[in-house]
Amino acid sequence: MNVILVEGDSDRIAVETLARRCGRDLAAEGVSVVPIGGAQAIGRFVSRHEGAALAGLCDAGEEAVFRRALGSNVFVCVADLEDELIRALGAARVEEILEAEGDLGAFRTLQKQPEWRGRPVEDQLRRWLGSGARRKLRYASLLVEALELDRVPSPLAGVLEHTFVAY
């Protein structure tokens, strides 16, 4: 059994969506993507999956915790996965996706808020994606679906490719 440990459900959704888009059947390959509910829980999940080949995907702020538990089998997003996806797609393309989903108006409302006015649109998008109750979950698959496969963020591609190479 091979296990990819990720911080949360949106990360799991993104990894599984990319795998499907690349023609991979993770279950058939014996690969599980397991959300751990935050980096501080990694020790418990490493113990739970003793004997499995492990890899991890995390945000930069959690890198040290993941590396202590997993060594070099960690793939790190610069800020977080949403940041990686926004940079890979470009802000204009993400806004097109929001518009197609009927959410552009809600995003524009955030942009008008005093604390967000004048900030880079990429930062505004990250905040907006992270602020809704289920937005991260919903948009994880939508943003990965919109990616050109030659523009997949390296941490996301890396953790998925690692399951081919290492196991």
Instruction: Give mean pLDDT, residues 149-156.
Output: 97
Higher pLDDT, 163 or 134: 134
- Using one digit for the tens of pLDDT, what is the confidence trace for 35-49? 999 899 999 999 999
The type of residue at 164 is: F
Q: Are 6 and 15 in contact (CB under 8 A)?
A: yes
**Tokens 């919109």 sit at which residue?**
146
CA distance 24 to 156: 14
pLDDT tier for residue 114 given thresholds of 50, 70 and 90:
very high
Instruction: Give mean pLDDT, residues 119-146.
Output: 94
Q: What are phi and psi of 54, to 5 degrees?
A: -115, 145
Stated pTM of the model: 0.94
Helix residue spans in the chain (DSSP H): 9-21, 26-29, 42-48, 63-70, 81-89, 91-100, 104-112, 121-131, 135-146, 154-165
User: What Å distances lie between residue 111 and 85, 99, 103, 107, 116, CA to CA?
Assistant: 19, 15, 13, 6, 6
- Using one digit for the tens of pLDDT, what is the confidence trace for 56-104? 999 999 999 999 999 999 999 999 999 999 999 999 999 999 999 999 9
Residue 15 has pLDDT above 60, yes or no: yes
- Using one digit for the tens of pLDDT, what is the confidence trace for 118-130? 999 999 999 999 9
Domain boundaries defined on the chain: 2-80+148-165, 82-146
pLDDT in the model for residue 165? 54
Domain formed by 2-80+148-165, architecture: 3-Layer(aba) Sandwich (3.40)
pLDDT in the model for residue 139? 98
pLDDT in the model for residue 167? 44
Residue 151 has pLDDT above 60, yes or no: yes
Tokens of 98: 């929001």
